[in-house]
Structure 1
Amino acid sequence: MSTGRVVIGGSSGFMGQYLQQKYRSEGREVTTISRAGADYRWGDQTGIDQAVDGASLVIGLAGKSVNCRYTPDNRAEIFRSRLNTTASLGAAIMAAAAPPPVWVNSSTATIYRHAEDRPMTESSGETGTGFSVEVAKAWEEALFADALPRTRRVALRSTIVLGHGGVLGPLKNLARVGLGGAQYDGWWPVTKSRQTAGTAHLPGAKHGRQKFSWVHLEDIGRIIDFIEEHPELAGPVNAAAPHPVDNTTFMATVRRVLGVRFGPPMPRWMLELGAIGIRTETELILKSRWVLPDKLTDAGFDFAYPTLEPALRESFG
């Protein structure tokens, strides 16, 4: 197991807080970068340069949450928050006298197209279209933009991360009030402005059959450890459990784990109105994300949570 200093950029979020606790409990020194409440703040390039120089591992997690309405201002901030922070870490690594040997930066499995026909892997996956895909592509381009010959870079294409908090909090509340049914796609009017912006979700999978790829938060930490210890892993790496399910199965498992017996299907019109009310987008639940972790499994990675129900039981525990 590696013992050197870890730099976490974007340390205040769901994954960042978990990784801080994990590495400190293992006795590793951790340096944090965030907008506030960290050792260094974004924009303090001199401080970030000092933090990165001599580190063993740099982890980039920063970026505005996509759990919002895709207004022009929010779209701009989603891009800016990812590209500027990634560029800042890259500049620090380029300037370092002792650059870190490994830089793991967040990406997203949303880079792949809506997939109902076959799973997407690092070698055979096809990129999609639209706003979310363009964000993912630009994020990875920023990671690999500069020549950093002494630093191995990995774009961690994360699926939905399960754990205490995160996306499961609202789902838990919905299920307990009888709204934990499968989420059904269907027709919904799309404005020209949303078509132009690439934020329109067109009808896809029927009857809750959109695929749901996921990974447990503990496995995220274990994946990063595995990447650090396996120099053959570079470029895009899918962070996804090896047994994805469809939306109907996912929501049924949520209800079973919570002991909720009933959950009627939620039609598209109800989902859209609800998304407007809580200021989010239905793409997050209606796009079929079918992703497999070929690079990890081929390298011998063993998931602590390969199947859904144990992962949910731990997350809701």
Structure 2
Amino acid sequence: MEKPHRAVIAGANGFIGQFLSAHLIAQGWQVCGLVRKIPAEPVDGVSYQLWNGQSLGEWTSQLEGADLLVNLVGRSVNCRFTAENRQQILNSRIQSTQLLAESINQIEMPPKLWVNASGISGYAQNGAPGNDESAALDGEGFLAEVVRQWEDALFSAEIPSSVRRIAMRTGVVFGNHPGSAWTKLTQLARLMLGGPVGSGKQGVSWIAIGDYCRALEHLFHQHQLAGPVNFTSPNPLSNAEMMAAIRQLENRPFGAPAFSWMIHLAAPIVGIDPSLVLDSYWCLPEKLQSSGFHFTTAKISQMAQWGR
């Protein structure tokens, strides 16, 4: 009998980490989750190992002979971009990536594939048709700089050449989970507040959680894939189009708009930076599609299967 593949997921307690863990377990993988706290409701079949994301420890042995290492660690960007929060956002990503590189150099059999989270905010803001992975990371602003330093920590790390490295440049991940973007947007639509935000023309590059999990496993089997990979649907859309589609799914004919000046006034009260909803990114998953990956949720209208 063939030995099952084994994955180690750093940051397994988050929204994405929970879904990814459950997906891999369902596909016959063995999964170890590196977490700061053992979850009260663990994912069935996952073994958890405590770590602090800052120093080596017993958890390092979990990487020995692993087939896949996934790093999802990073302080949430859903906050005000104060000096302290900016430093935490950057440090959490850089330190965890550097620590994993250090741990790889401590073991005899390093993982075959290291997949590190990244973001699409490194790209310059643009209009349709969109950026694929050949576009430069020449975006401006804080989040663009975070992406550049994050990916540099991954690709400049001096680790064995046998370890294939991929940076997942991820858009907004939609799925039914408390506190997720999709849950918040559908709640707004039900309250008749799901109108366009700002101009409504800004691009939204998104991916359904089911396709995210399937795409990540797809990377493992596509040995020619390395470097940056866009984790976005092949159908980015404007904010106005997205909100209209969500209203239709929720059977709401109307949604009150939120003008840009409202966003700038409300953002400090809500505790977010206005750029999170007003910036524009149109991205395309060229590497995933050219390698044969098929999206099962390519359009927002198909989100009904994940939205409730």
What TM-score does the superposition give when structure 1 sets the normalisation length? 0.89
- 2:210 equivalent to 1:218: yes
Q: Report % sequence identity.
A: 34
Q: Cα deviation per residue 1:72-130 (whole Å; 9 max; x = unaligned)?
A: 11101001111111111111112220011100010001111111254111113452011
SS in structure 1 of the partner of residue 167 of structure 2: strand
Aligned to 1:111: 122
Aligned to 1:299: 291
Aligned to 1:256: 248
Aligned to 1:153: 165
| Residue 30 of structure 1: how far off its partner (Å) | 1.1
- Give runs of aligned pairs for residues 116-265 of structure 1, distance below 5 A: 116=127, 118-148=129-159, 149-165=161-177, 166-184=180-198, 207-265=199-257
In 2, Cα distance between equivalents of 1:136 and 1:108: 6
The 3 A distance-change label for structure 1 pair 126 and 88 is closer
SS in structure 1 of the partner of residue 284 of structure 2: coil
Residue 98 of structure 2 contacts residue 157 of structure 2 at CA under 8 Å; is this kept in 1? no
Q: Cα deviation per residue 1:230-266 (whole Å; 9 max; x = unaligned)?
A: 1110000000110111111000011110111111321
Aligned to 2:113: 102
Residue 5 of structure 2 contacts residue 28 of structure 2 at CA under 8 Å; is this kept in 1? no
| Residue 2 of structure 1: how far off its partner (Å) | 8.9
Aligned to 1:90: 101
SS in structure 2 of the partner of residue 270 of structure 1: helix
RMSD across aligned C-alpha pairs, in angstroms? 1.6
Q: Cα deviation per residue 1:204-238 (whole Å; 9 max; x = unaligned)?
A: xxx31111110011111111111100111000000
SS in structure 1 of the partner of residue 105 of structure 2: helix
Amino acid at match of 1:175: A
Residue 213 of structure 1 contacts residue 289 of structure 1 at CA under 8 Å; is this kept in 2? yes
Amino acid at match of 1:221: C
Which stretch of structure 1 is more off in the superposition, 90-99 or 32-41? 32-41
Aligned to 1:40: 50
Q: Cα deviation per residue 1:178-212 (whole Å; 9 max; x = unaligned)?
A: 2110012xxxxxxxxxxxxxxxxxxxxxx311111
Residue 53 of structure 1 contacts residue 92 of structure 1 at CA under 8 Å; is this kept in 2? no
SS in structure 2 of the partner of residue 215 of structure 1: strand
The correspondence for 2:305, drawn from 277, 293, 314, is: 314
What TM-score does the superposition give when structure 2 sets the normalisation length? 0.91
Residue 2 of structure 1 contacts residue 229 of structure 1 at CA under 8 Å; is this kept in 2? no
SS in structure 2 of the partner of residue 45 of structure 1: coil
Aligned to 2:41: none
In 2, Cα distance between equivalents of 1:180 and 1:118: 25
| Residue 295 of structure 1: how far off its partner (Å) | 0.9
The 3 A distance-change label for structure 1 pair 81 and 2 is farther
User: Structure 1: 5+ residue runs without aligned partners?
Assistant: 185-206
Aligned to 1:76: 87
In 2, Cα distance between equivalents of 1:220 and 1:19: 8
The correspondence for 1:66, drawn from 42, 56, 77, is: 77
In 2, Cα distance between equivalents of 1:13 and 1:5: 20
In 2, Cα distance between equivalents of 1:125 and 1:291: 12
In 1, Cα distance between equivalents of 2:262 and 2:234: 31
SS in structure 2 of the partner of residue 238 of structure 1: strand
Amino acid at match of 1:106: A
| Residue 147 of structure 1: how far off its partner (Å) | 2.8
In 2, Cα distance between equivalents of 1:220 and 1:268: 30
| Residue 16 of structure 1: how far off its partner (Å) | 0.5
Question: When the two structures are aligned, how many residues end up with a matched partner?
Answer: 294
Amino acid at match of 1:314: Q
In 1, Cα distance between equivalents of 2:137 and 2:167: 16
The 3 A distance-change label for structure 1 pair 243 and 125 is farther
Aligned to 1:21: 22
The 3 A distance-change label for structure 1 pair 232 and 2 is farther
